[in-house]
Amino acid sequence: MIIWAPFSYAQLSYLLTPLLPQKLERHPKAEKSVKGSVGAPMPGKVVGIRVKEKEVVKKGSPLVVLSAMKMETNVSAPIDGTVSKISVKLNQTLEAGDLLVDIEPLS
C-alpha cells in the first residue's frame, strides 16, 4: 500500500517548528519537609492571590485561590510567619505540588 503525502518530513518540521513551544518551563515544586513551603493541593489555575510579599500571616490565613473544574479552593497558611516569596501569577496553570508561596516562620 502506498500512501501519498503532500509534504516530506523535513518540510513538515520546518512548517511546524514556529508553532511549537520554544522553551518548556518547569514550575518549582514545594518542599514537603519545609513547613513554610506551600504547594498546590491539586492541578488548577490561579484565580486569586490574597497576600503580598513581606506580609505577616497567621496560620489559616488565605494565601492563594485555585480554580479547578469550576470549583475554587482557598490555600491557607500552614504556619504563622512572613511571606518571603510568591511564586505564582494570576491565571497561571499549575500542577499538584507546584510551589505557591514561601513563608518564613516567626521567631
- Dump pLDDT digits (tens) for 25-36: 678 999 999 999
List, in sequence order, every beta strand (DSSP E) within 1-107.
Answer: 37-39, 44-49, 56-57, 62-68, 71-76, 81-86, 93-94, 99-105
pLDDT digits (tens, 9 = 90+) for 36-53: 999 999 999 999 999 999
Pairwise CA distance, residues 31 & 23, whole Å:
24
pLDDT above 90: percentage of residues in the chain = 71
Q: Round to whole Å and give the CA distance between 95 and 6.
A: 39
pLDDT at 18: 65
The reported pLDDT for the residue numbered 8 is 62
Q: List for the chain the helix, strand, coil content (%; round to 5).
A: 10, 40, 50
Summarize the confidence of residues 57-85 as an average pLDDT. 96
Residues 60 and 41: their CA atoms lie apart, in Å, by 15
Whole-number pLDDT of residue 93: 93
Residues 6+ apart with CB under 8 A from 10: none
* Mean pLDDT, range 6-27, rounded to an integer: 62
